[in-house]
Amino acid sequence: MYKFIFTLLTDPLGLPISPIWEYVILAILNEIAFKIAWNVSPGGAWGSEIHWAVRIPFFCVMWAITYASCMIYTGQAQRVPLGLENSKIARESKK
């Protein structure tokens, strides 16, 4: 069941790059997440549960970092206002 969920999560994730490079990046991220989860998992009755409990979140975090990096690298990142327009820091930076 966890493999099905992981497959849904890792199907083309919409990186703003060529699909070929996206699959290469996904394969690399998947391999890293697998190795980390394999080393963390103790085996035994709960080994598979622990493996997937580590692998899925770790992959998602790595993908989020990769996605943000691709967005910045390709120039597609939008500046998100933080609501600090009237703050002391914003006024001082305009001077």
Residue 75 has what DSSP assignment?
Answer: T
Q: Who wins on pLDDT, 15 or 46?
A: 46
Would you say residue 42 has pLDDT above 80? Answer: yes
Give the 3-state DSSP-derived string for 25-71, with helices as H, strands as E and coil as C.
HHHHHHHHHHHHHHHHCCCCCCHHHHHHHHHHHHHHHHHHHHHHHHH
Would you say residue 14 has pLDDT above 90? Answer: no
Would you say residue 31 has pLDDT above 90? Answer: yes
Give pLDDT, residue 17: 76
Q: What is the pLDDT of residues 49-94, one digit of tens each?
A: 899 899 989 988 998 898 888 878 777 666 555 555 555 555 555 5
Query: b vs e for 22-55, b when ≥16 Cβ sit within 10 Å of the residue's Cβ?
Result: beebbeebbeebbebbeeebeeeeeeeeebbebb
At 20, the pLDDT band (50, 70, 90 cuts) reads: confident
- pTM, rounded to two decimals: 0.65
